[in-house]
Amino acid sequence: MQRRPFLLHGLSALGAGLGLAAGAAHAQGSAWPQRGLRIIAAGAAGGSADIVARLLADQLGKQTGRTVIVEPKPGAAGVLAVNELSLAPRDGHALLVGVNSLVSEIPHIVRLKLDMAAEIRPLAELACGGLVMVANPALPARTLAELVAYARANPGKLNFASYTAGTLSHVMGLQLNQAAGIDLTHVGYKGSTPALQDLMGGHVPLMFDGMATSIPLIRAGRIRAFAVSTPKRSPLLPEVPTFTELGYPRLEATAWMGLWVKPELPAPVQAQIRDAALKAIAQPALRDRLGEIGFEAGQPRTPEQLGASLKADYERVGAVLRSIGFQPE
């Protein structure tokens, strides 16, 4: 597609955003915030982005003494939320909370008219978590090794669900096929909820899902966990091994919820916003609440580090999807 070079250009520019607008800082003033704040959540009300945005809003309100309003913006895989931020003034009073897939995955899935990586810049990682491979309890396998053996003995007979075709939950199944020499068939859904319903109903035996939505069902015994994609065992599922532990390091992956801004925002304002977000993440009450909903608190990676990880993830996901001839909608 002709847009891809522009997207890659946007990704390479993520790390440079802090310096681009430094000269404009004095003209616009670097005091932040000067009025109430608005956080756009890239997702539906009650979804993960909305919940994390409200936790952040509570802390920012306490820090700044300003009113902080959260506006959920679902639709078009986060594109509508990004567009909403792009229309806001570049003064740092409109922020975005959304997952890293806005830049690393969505451009591979949806035919876009805008360059996501050029429209938004990550300032802070608010929350993180991996994916977990889960199954219907009726599946005759208790471990990943048993599952691989079963799949090899029954080629083409096992399906796996993803919450959306082209996302990490799809890519991880393809990577397991390649690494283990098996033939799981993909079934794409429009969201975790319908996929999990079919998983529990026995209509699809396997799924790669986010921990936040699967953990309550795992703890209730309604689905079984095989492995997690995080580099180390998750404190949320300490009894579940990592894919790396089990001999599949290529399936190591972490999803994260970030705080994003307009890239042209003056550098001093970006620094102030980032500092406020890091202080918010450090609050025990916020960290505890993140754990309750299936997330760990984000790591203090710099915007440059976040930009580099986005570029690497974008290229990795693209390579896997191209290997199966995947085409965006």
- Give the bridge partners for 206, in sequence order: 135, 160
- Give the bridge partners for 162, in sequence order: 188
Residues constituting the chain: 329
- Residue 79 above 90 pLDDT? no
**Helix, strand, coil in percent for the chain, rounding step 5:** 45, 20, 35
Task: Identify the pLDDT of residue 294.
Answer: 81
Query: Do the beta carbons of residue 225 and residue 240 sit within 8 Å?
Result: yes
- 0.85 exceeded by pTM: no
Beta-carbon contacts of 121 under 8 Å, excluding residues fewer than 6 positions away, are 14, 17, 260, 261, 262, 263, 265, 270, 303, 307
Same fold, 4-129+255-323 and 131-251: yes
Structure-model confidence comparison of residues 24 and 266, the more confident one: 266
State how far the Cα of 292 lies from the Cα of 97, in Å rounded to an integer. Answer: 19
CATH number of 131-251: 3.40.190.10
What average pLDDT does the segment 217-243 reach? 94
For residues 11-36, one letter each, b for 16 or more C-beta atoms within 10 angstroms of the residue's C-beta and e for the rest, the string is bebbbebbebbeebbeebebebbeee
Residue percentage of the chain with pLDDT more than 70: 91
Task: Identify the pLDDT of residue 190.
Answer: 82
- Residue 246 binned pLDDT confidence (cut-offs 50, 70, 90): very high
What average pLDDT does the segment 82-100 reach? 93
How does pLDDT run across 25-55, given as a tens digit for each residue? 343 445 899 999 999 999 888 888 899 999 9
Q: Which two tokens stand for residue 202?
A: 């026995």
The CATH class given to the 4-129+255-323 domain equals alpha beta
Per-domain boundaries in the chain? 4-129+255-323, 131-251
Q: Which two tokens stand for residue 304?
A: 């440059």
DSSP tag of 157: -
